[in-house]
Copies of this chain bind each other. A is one copy, B any other.
């Protein structure tokens, strides 16, 4: 699969300027992803997928992002839905007391992914961000299922996915936050709000939800599981972006090298120093991302694993922004022209530190943790 990702990256790169300019969904990239079977990356082999680990995913996300970070970010959402579903093993399901229908629904959703269906995530809301505890989108039980009403924001790939993971709060019991897999179609309306500095092709528009879904759309078949899943799989909430931004940073170094060599500027010491330092920084951030991913697979949920997840997010975000800025400075004014890879990468890279958990939040969490505190320390950013 990683070979496939490497094959696709240059194709993505060749299309990236156009999608970026228009803020358009990368239709051809997603056709490539579907054809390559990558929609089944996280799907277990018994359901027709590649059964990839989180580390496999991180390696692939890095490669895809070297082609187009925006495409990799949308793909990340699909991977997080399928990865989290696949993470609910039969053993875990039994421990959580999930009903048999929920396991069948899980298998159906995963099998469909392996066959080319893809999922987006509609979790964040204005005001609440991605904090589950603050959501206002509400659902209520109705005859034969649930009615969900609310408004989501930052929904990457909105209007193009086959179904959406929608988080909502029970109107009957405010303490319950549940997740639903809502198929595209009536009841979902895209409001095209995404016109951003960077990562423009993610089309992370607002999604207005007023839809009734059958009971089987409730993930896990039991209400109130959203927070449980978030705590079991925090890497999908925080760290899976990290691989994308390291890929963007590496693409910036590569683009600067190509530009400098074309212009025969490699004899200038200041440029060499910038490229050398950037290369080392990207290489180190990449190691951190892969270390976090390896630990997520081997020791999920451990305190040290979570620390690596935060370190990876922090380092990826700060490195991407710093490296892209320095590479543009190394390349010079001519690389500022729109259509030049560095012009886009500079804008894309800036988003890394801003996506939750932000760099400042990760630094605080790591500091609290190093000092022996916990997530509820006074003044520290809340986690969910």
Residues of B within 8 A of A329 (CB): 321, 353-354, 358-360
A267 B378 Cβ-Cβ under 8 A:
yes
Q: Decide: A368 near B272, CB < 8 A? Known: A333-B355, A350-B336, A373-B266.
A: yes
Residues of B within 8 A of A351 (CB): 333, 336
CB proximity of A305 to chain B, nearest CB, Å: 13
Once bound together, how far apart are the Cα atoms of A46 and B338, in whole Å?
45
Q: Contact flags (1/0) for A248-261 with B, using CB distance below 8 Å?
A: 00000100010011
- A245-279 interface with B by 8 A CB criterion: 253, 257, 260-261, 266-277, 279
Q: Contact flags (1/0) for A340-353 with B, using CB distance below 8 Å?
A: 00010011001101
Once bound together, how far apart are the Cα atoms of A279 and B270, in whole Å?
17
Once bound together, how far apart are the Cα atoms of A196 and B334, in whole Å?
9
Is A31 an interface position by the 8 A CB rule?
no
B276 A362 Cβ-Cβ under 8 A:
yes
Residues of B within 8 A of A269 (CB): 269-270, 273, 364, 379
- Contact partner of A363 (CB less than 8 A), chosen from B277, B315, B355, B365, is B277
Residues of B within 8 A of A346 (CB): 197, 350
A358 B338 Cβ-Cβ under 8 A:
no
Residues of B within 8 A of A314 (CB): 276-277, 280
Q: Decide: A195 near B275, CB < 8 A? Known: A315-B280, A363-B280, A378-B267.
A: no
Q: Which of A61-69, A164-172, A284-292 contacts B (4 or more CB under 8 A)?
A: A284-292
Once bound together, how far apart are the Cα atoms of A373 and B265, in whole Å?
12
The prevalent SS among residues of A at the interface is: helix
A276 B196 Cβ-Cβ under 8 A:
no
Give the number of times this chain occurs in the complex, counting copies: 4
B284 A198 Cβ-Cβ under 8 A:
no
Chain A residues bordering chain B, tally (CB within 8 A): 76
- A165-222 interface with B by 8 A CB criterion: 193-198
Q: Decide: A336 near B362, CB < 8 A? Known: A275-B371, A284-B311, A370-B253.
A: no
Is A43 an interface position by the 8 A CB rule?
no
Once bound together, how far apart are the Cα atoms of A101 and B376, in whole Å?
57
Residues of B within 8 A of A339 (CB): 195
Residues of B within 8 A of A378 (CB): 267
Is A5 an interface position by the 8 A CB rule?
no
B367 A274 Cβ-Cβ under 8 A:
yes
Residues of B within 8 A of A266 (CB): 368, 371-373, 377
Q: Decide: A279 near B370, CB < 8 A? Known: A288-B287, A311-B284, A351-B336.
A: yes
- A285-344 interface with B by 8 A CB criterion: 285, 287-288, 291, 307-308, 310-311, 314-315, 321, 325, 328-329, 332-333, 336-339, 343
- A25-43 interface with B by 8 A CB criterion: none
B196 A272 Cβ-Cβ under 8 A:
no
Of all chain B residues, which has the CB nearest A342? B197
- Known A-B contacts: A273-B363, A329-B353. Give 13 more (CB < 8 A): A194-B337, A196-B337, A196-B338, A196-B343, A253-B370, A268-B360, A269-B269, A276-B314, A284-B285, A284-B311, A328-B354, A336-B350, A379-B379
Can you report 13 residue pairs joining A to B where beta carbons are below 8 Å apart? Answer: A197-B337, A197-B338, A253-B370, A257-B371, A261-B372, A266-B372, A270-B361, A273-B364, A276-B367, A284-B284, A284-B315, A328-B354, A329-B360
Minimum-distance CB pairs A-B, first 7: A272-B367, A276-B366, A276-B367, A269-B269, A276-B363, A270-B360, A287-B287
